[in-house]
């Protein structure tokens, strides 16, 4: 798979080579290249073109399903549920009436073969990029927001931003003339350092469900670009995802301090995990905002993420965030690890009930004067009473609150080895 050039292949078993690769022409049209011969074609032989008659079971949205249309996935069963509400592009139809549908390149460019009923037009509020217009080519490349849908003509009503000469405007655009933009706005999967460097995390933008811009840091594993060659396989490697929530006034995981980059713990983490650090835009008294879990939902659809091994951790205020974020969506995470955490006493029962089955590694100091150990004990006890058989508590001594980051994440690889013991049930 070549992310940089937009090459996309179907996910294959190890040792099986791809037959076709999908590319997008400058006009917005999709074409295919035979992997062995290099011969280009506008259609894969197993696909129908966009002019094939619609099948009777194509559902309510049949008229939207044409090659190049920007659409959204819906209603997939448990095995494919992580792809629901993800956006992408229709590539064509197969002879068994499935639709080949390509996810954005930053999510791996995965091509899924879906039933027509599992595709729907984009929702209002979706961000799209205009492409392939000939009569009004100056609009190509401009991004806008879907504000309404014309189901009769399969068109999106797009609000376009103000320009130097004109104010905001609206335009009806055919579904085949837009590219649906993922909420992972500027994530670059070619930005993968090969050794741990200070301030080399990628600072990326996430557009949440309300349209607000949120920032997050991401660090790809040091072997991200070479792991496939090292193992002698052409299949894409899927990496566990570590979501880290920082403390009040803190920063992303690998920007805690320059000195910490030399520690065995952080080096082990940088080798083994995709590390994502939401920029927590709330204070220590407030509950975390829901966009953090929205971000994780978008990331778990990426082909390069092992969606069964997503872990959540955080220190101080981020430890409180770990309790709350994990409790709101326990289905997303294989394990959580609050470090030097605190929580609101009125939330104790809610958290314990929601995380009763969650593998949980608590790391705290008996000498923590900021987040006293005694105030957390009732939550740990209630978790056990609720039946949590996978609660582990590690208590440090002679370590103050400000040193707990180093104790948990830097001194050794204990927390990372513990995380990798856990995975969610296979879909």
* DSSP secondary structure of 352-421: HHHTTTS-EEEEEETT-SSS-HHHHHHHHHHHHHTT-TTEEEEEESS--GGGHHIIIIIS-SHHHHHHTT
pLDDT reported for residue 4: 35
The verdict on 77 and 152 lying in the same domain is: no
Residues 135 and 116 in one domain: no
Spell out a b/e string for 131-146, using b for 16 or more CB atoms within 10 Å of the CB, else e. bbbeeeeebbebebbb
Predicted confidence band at 290 (pLDDT cuts at 50, 70, 90)? very high
Specify burial of residue 413 (Cβ count, 10 A radius: 0-12, 13-18, 19+): buried
In a domain, 196, yes or no: no
Question: What CATH number is attached to the domain comprising 239?
Answer: 3.40.50.1820
Whether the predicted pLDDT of 225 surpasses 70: yes
**158 and 265 together in one domain:** no
The pLDDT-based confidence of 350 (bands split at 50, 70, 90) is very high
For residues 219 and 331, state if they share a domain: yes
- Residue 306, helix vs strand vs coil: strand
What is the CB-side half-sphere exposure of residue 393 using CA atoms within 13 A? Answer: 16
Q: What is the pTM of this model?
A: 0.85
Contact 103, 110 (CB under 8 A): yes
- Assigned domain for 5 exists: no
Q: What is the largest CA-CA distance in the chain?
A: 73
Contact partners, residue 134, CB within 8 Å, separation at least 6: none
What's the domain range around 386?
Answer: 202-419
Residue 105 shares a structural domain with residue 226: no
Rounded to an integer, what distance in angstroms lies between the CA atom of residue 99 and that of residue 80? 15
Percent of the chain with pLDDT over 90: 67
Considering the domain architecture, whether residues 160 and 207 belong to the same structural domain is answered as no
Evaluate if residue 45 carries a pLDDT over 70: no
pLDDT of residue 260 exceeding 50: yes
pLDDT digits (tens, 9 = 90+) for 55-112: 445 567 889 999 999 999 999 988 889 999 999 999 988 777 889 999 999 998 888 9
Same domain, 214 and 310: yes
According to DSSP, the β-strands at 202-207 and 213-219 are antiparallel
Query: Does one domain contain both 206 and 82?
Result: no
Helices 317-328/291-300 angle, 10° precision: 60
Q: What does the block give as tokens for 311? A: 């872990």
Contact 255, 243 (CB under 8 A): no
From the list 273, 188, 258, 260, the residue with the least C-alpha distance to 222 is 273
Q: How far apart are CA 287 and CA 296, in angstroms?
A: 17
56 within some domain: yes
Confidence of residue 316 (pLDDT cuts 50, 70, 90): very high
The per-residue DSSP string of 88-143 comes to EEEEEEETTS-EEEEPPGGGT--EEEE-GGGEEEPPTT-EEEE---STTGGGTT-E
- Please report whether residue 194 resides in a domain: no
Confidence band, pLDDT 50/70/90 cuts, at residue 7: very low
As a whole number of angstroms, the distance between CA 90 and CA 88 comes to 7
| Number of residues in the chain | 427
pLDDT of residue 196: 86
């Amino acid at each position: 798979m070549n992310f940089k050039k937009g090459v996309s292949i179907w996910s294959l078993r190890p040792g099986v080579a791809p037959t076709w690769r999908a590319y997008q022409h400058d006009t917005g049209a999709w074409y295919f290249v035979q992997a062995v011969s290099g011969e280009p074609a506008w259609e894969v032989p197993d696909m129908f073109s966009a002019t094939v008659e619609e099948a009777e079971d194509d559902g309510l949205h049949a008229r939207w399903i044409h090659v190049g249309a920007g659409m959204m996935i819906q209603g997939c069963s448990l095995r494919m549920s992580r792809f629901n509400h993800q956006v992408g592009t229709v590539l064509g139809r197969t002879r068994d009436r499935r639709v080949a549908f390509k996810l954005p390149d930053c999510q791996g460019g995965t091509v899924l073969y879906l039933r027509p009923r599992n595709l729907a037009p984009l929702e209002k509020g979706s961000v799209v990029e205009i492409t392939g217009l000939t009569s009004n080519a100056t609009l190509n490349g401009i991004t806008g927001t879907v504000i309404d849908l014309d189901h009769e003509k399969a068109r999106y009503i797009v609000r376009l931003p103000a320009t130097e000469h004109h104010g905001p405007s609206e335009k009806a655009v055919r579904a085949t003339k837009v590219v649906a933009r993922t909420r992972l706005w500027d994530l670059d999967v070619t930005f993968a350092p090969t050794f741990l460097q200070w301030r080399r995390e990628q600072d990326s933008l996430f557009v949440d469900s309300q349209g607000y811009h949120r920032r997050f840091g991401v660090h790809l594993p040091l072997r991200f670009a070479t792991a496939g060659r090292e193992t002698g396989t052409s299949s894409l490697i899927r990496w566990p995802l570590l979501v880290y929530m920082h403390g009040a006034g803190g920063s992303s995981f690998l920007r805690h301090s320059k000195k910490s980059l030399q520690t065995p713990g952080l080096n082990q983490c940088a080798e083994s995990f995709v590390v994502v650090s939401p920029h927590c835009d709330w204070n220590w008294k407030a509950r975390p905002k829901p966009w953090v879990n929205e971000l994780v939902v978008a990331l778990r659809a990426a082909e390069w993420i092992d969606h069964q091994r997503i872990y959540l951790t955080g220190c101080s205020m981020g430890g409180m965030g770990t309790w709350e974020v994990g409790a709101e969506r326990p289905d997303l995470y294989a394990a959580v690890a609050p470090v030097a955490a605190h929580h609101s006493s009125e939330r104790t029962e809610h958290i314990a009930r929601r995380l009763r089955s969650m593998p949980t590694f608590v790391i705290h100091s008996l000498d923590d004067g900021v987040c006293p150990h005694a105030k957390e004990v009732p939550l740990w006890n209630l978790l056990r009473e609720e039946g949590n058989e996978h609660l582990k508590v590690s208590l440090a001594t002679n370590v103050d609150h400000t040193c707990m980051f180093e104790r948990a994440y830097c001194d050794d690889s204990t927390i990372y080895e513990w995380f990798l013991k856990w995975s969610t049930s296979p879909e």
